[in-house]
Structure 1
């Protein structure tokens, strides 16, 4: 797969609009994190805050925010014949937008591909190829998973749960209080934790840690700020605790991790 350009978690205002009557020469995948309007066949379609679309070359592209702000991940790419066959075999829709219950994993793939694309890593092209295939598999899983929310009776909480999880990964440095999150859903602390784990297959505490350490790894790879500052940026004011937690997650201290990325 030949990557042309890629972007992760881009933000635009309410006046943002893409209007390409003749599309682009490349394929384009968008993962949209906020409500959005797509114009398909002359008709505007509004989707909620978790959707994606894959445009083939020269397909008209027209989309704009359905709220006061717009966030998306995107990539312009050229899949080879095998990758196009893979998308077809996985029944991934093309040229039409699709809502997804949880785009977190898909967005993480884009983030990893973005870091690789703009890195000087020796095997970045091979890594991008692997991430792309994994992205397609994960997309197919999301599309064909029958029960997005295990307990249908709890589906009234789905939007807020998804927003909370997206916020955790979008702003990892925030101070996340389980009591405050539970209050937002008018649930008890224990019921909120149970519902979160039941919905996403992971505890809210683990998601907070994962989002913070992933962001820390990004900062260590892409900046020269101190380990103390990295920890503070991701919500850990106690440097010793941050170093210990990072080491248990990655198997390296922050400094060792930074040095390994520099090789």
Structure 2
């Protein structure tokens, strides 16, 4: 089990900060820098830009101080006999500054981690163990999907675009227009999207519509024609053909499947 020793979400150091640990901290230490920082690591001095994280081993010596005020960071200290093997299996980069491709995801996870850490209850430690493992897996997954292709600078914009496709399945917008909104050519836009998410943008458009259609079929009395319109289809014939292709049954059979 991974044990959380201490954590902080958007900790503000109005008077600056100096952390000098010549023999390491004695535990695994994760720091997400929300401010520019001077870091000394392995006898090398470097400037760390904001939205960069680093996960230190217990015995790694390091020193850092603020380069701007106020200094803001998210952080946690943890331990666990299984942790080294778990991180090795993820190919997680230890003692290495990593530019965060999704800073908001890190902040959300850290906020929730701090919230759970302050609570009490019989499942608290198990919840924290699961949350920490999930968080580290998300970071490892993002790095593997973005860093090798140098796509980290696109991730936040593309993730927001993808979320919008699922939030607003009724919108009719072309791939060309989506690419133009990000100042990219259509072919390069499609290439990046596939590299980041493992599917085409058109597939996500259809999946978003199908998820919304299934929800309306399950939880509303809207007609198939009304649902087709609500999902962005100009006619219900196209909707029904696409629904059967992607879901495996007609909308009517899907709605009344529990009665058969």
Scaled to the shorter chain, the TM-score interval is: 0.5 to 0.7
- Map of 2:114 onto structure 1: 114
Q: Is the counterpart of residue 11 in structure 1 residue 12 in structure 2?
A: yes
Q: Is the counterpart of residue 69 in structure 1 residue 70 in structure 2?
A: yes
- Map of 2:125 onto structure 1: 125
**Root mean square deviation of aligned Cα:** 3.3
1:45-85 deviation line (CA, Å, top 9, x unaligned): 1122111111111221211223233211111110222x321
* Runs of 4+ deviating beyond 4 Å: 147-150, 198-201
Cα offset for 1:149?
A: 5.0
Q: Distance in 1 between matches of 2:29 and 2:19?
A: 12
Q: Distance in 1 between matches of 2:118 and 2:32?
A: 19
Q: Distance in 2 between matches of 1:15 and 1:8?
A: 16
Q: So what's the TM-score if we normalise by structure 2?
A: 0.55
Cα offset for 1:129?
A: 0.8
1:233-252 deviation line (CA, Å, top 9, x unaligned): xxxxxxxxxxxxxxxxxxxx
Could you say which structure has the larger radius of gyration? 2
Please show how residues 30-49 of structure 1 align to structure 2 within 5 Å: 30-49=31-50
Q: So what's the TM-score if we normalise by structure 1?
A: 0.55
Q: Distance in 2 between matches of 1:49 and 1:122?
A: 37
User: Which runs of no fewer than 5 residues in structure 1 stay unpaired?
Assistant: 166-189, 202-263
Structure 2 contact 24–60 (Cα < 8 Å) conserved: yes
Structure 1 contact 47–99 (Cα < 8 Å) conserved: no
User: Which runs of no fewer than 5 residues in structure 2 stay unpaired?
Assistant: 161-176, 183-188, 198-260
Assess, with a 3 A threshold, how the Cα gap between structure 1 residues 148 and 41 changes in structure 2: closer, same or farther: closer
Q: Is the counterpart of residue 91 in structure 1 residue 91 in structure 2?
A: yes
